[in-house]
Amino acid sequence: MLPLLRASPFPKPLLRRPNCRTFSYHPSSSQKKTVGGITTPDSNLRSRRSPRGGGPSSNRVTPQQCRTSPSRMTGRMRNPESDAEGHPFDICRNETVGPVTSKKSLLELNREKRNEIERSQNHPQHAYLRSGMILLKNYISHRDQVKIVEKCRDLGINSGGFYRPGYKDGAKLRLYMMCLGKNWDPESRLYEDYRQIDGAKAPEIPEFFRKLVDRAIRASHDFLRQDYKDVNIEDEVPNMSPDICIVNFYNNSGKLGLHQDRDESKKSLHKGLPVISFSLGDSAEFLYGVERDADNAEKVVLESGDVLMFGGISRLIYHGVSCIHPNTAPKRLIEETKLRPGRLNLTFRQY
């Protein structure tokens, strides 16, 4: 995942918003094959470096390689994105963030609960985007969104927290990243216990996040059972238990080029275990398609509280974020969490 976004402008602006442009990467020169309708640059799901990271065929690694020791670490290194005191990037404005202070009446709490139950039962906007790709609209309740932001903020300012990933040539991705469970290294495309940048260990995935993932999978099954009686639910969204979560924070100029998530184990990919993505804060234009071709990609706007999953035959779908829509985050969420302008995205995977 996470190929580097080229800084140069792209020829055909496809999208309506002025700050949204089409974007794509040069497909590698290697032979293309098709897996589940999705074009892959090679046949055996191997990983390779990004087009900017050192050429298509050199330095190949297998996805199963998973570093367990800080091989290149010599003592404690510093996260170069940290502030003067050595804290990593803070996704929230530097004001006191804590539990919501306003006291709510029992009546309000009950109303919120009722609304949440209604929302989970009525889902006129949930969408079956393509086989294996389900969008649960407005699925995460406001309360849970606040909890997720607060948790990511707490984890993100500590060891193993947010940093700006980059490549050997010094170019950086247009986002901040933190990994939970295992670190994913954009340069080697390996999952590892200790990250190369500063030797930090990935924080654990909070139990609360796992429970939400579990609930979302069940909600997607309920949705399919109700509205898509002909599909095989287990083929569409196989059950999974996440041991990796990649948390991205995009500021208003953040984006992420079209790519496949294929650095998880062969077994996980072949089973089509889904990637489950939570969106919070500002909305994003999310592109997806069977080829790495932004001009012909499908587009969907992901808003705060949306859950997107792609598994089954869509597990290797090309996807990316073409732009962020500024000032679209729910006001309440910003007021209560002090989340900076931008978008927080969590993608859960099972290695």
Ligand X SMILES: O=C(O)CCC(=O)C(=O)O
Nearer to ligand X, 184 or 194 (CB): 184
1 is a contact residue toward ligand X (CB under 6 A): yes
Nearer to ligand X, 70 or 303 (CB): 303
Q: Nearest-CA neighbor of 19 among 279, 280, 258, 284?
A: 284
340 is a contact residue toward ligand X (CB under 6 A): no
Q: Which of residues 264-303 bind ligand X (CB under 6 A)?
A: 277, 284, 286
Using CB under 6 A, which of 321, 329, 334, 339 touches ligand X? 321
Using CB under 6 A, which of 24, 145, 248, 314 touches ligand X? 248
350 is a contact residue toward ligand X (CB under 6 A): no
Residue with tokens 């995009």: 250
Using CB under 6 A, which of 152, 205, 256, 280 touches ligand X? 256
**267 CB-near residues (< 8 Å, 6+ apart):** none
Q: Contacts with ligand X: how many residues (CB under 6 A)?
A: 13
Residue 321 pairs with which residues in a beta bridge? 256, 286
Nearer to ligand X, 213 or 284 (CB): 284
Instruction: Answer for the pair 10, 21: CB distance below 8 angstroms, yes or no.
Output: yes
Using CB under 6 A, which of 319, 325, 338, 340 touches ligand X? 319
Instruction: Answer for the pair 248, 175: CB distance below 8 angstroms, yes or no.
Output: yes
316 is a contact residue toward ligand X (CB under 6 A): no
Is residue 319 a known part of a binding site?
yes
304 is a contact residue toward ligand X (CB under 6 A): no
Is residue 261 a known part of a binding site?
yes
Nearer to ligand X, 240 or 284 (CB): 284
Using CB under 6 A, which of 347, 348, 350, 351 touches ligand X? 347
Using CB under 6 A, which of 345, 348, 350, 351 touches ligand X? 345
Nearer to ligand X, 155 or 284 (CB): 284
322 is a contact residue toward ligand X (CB under 6 A): no
**Least distance CB 196 / ligand X (angstroms):** 18
Nearer to ligand X, 197 or 256 (CB): 256
Nearer to ligand X, 70 or 173 (CB): 173
Q: Which of residues 128-147 bind ligand X (CB under 6 A)?
A: none
**Least distance CB 5 / ligand X (angstroms):** 12
Using CB under 6 A, which of 91, 216, 217, 246 touches ligand X? 246
Nearer to ligand X, 88 or 281 (CB): 281
Instruction: Answer for the pair 255, 23: CB distance below 8 angstroms, yes or no.
Output: yes
**Least distance CB 67 / ligand X (angstroms):** 19
Is residue 259 a known part of a binding site?
yes
Q: What are phi and psi of 106, to 5 degrees?
A: -60, -35
Distance CA 315, CA 264 (A): 11
> Annotated binding residues, as ranges?
259, 261, 319
Q: Which parts of this chain interact with ligand X (CB under 6 A)?
A: 1-2, 246, 248, 256, 261, 277, 284, 286, 319, 321, 345, 347
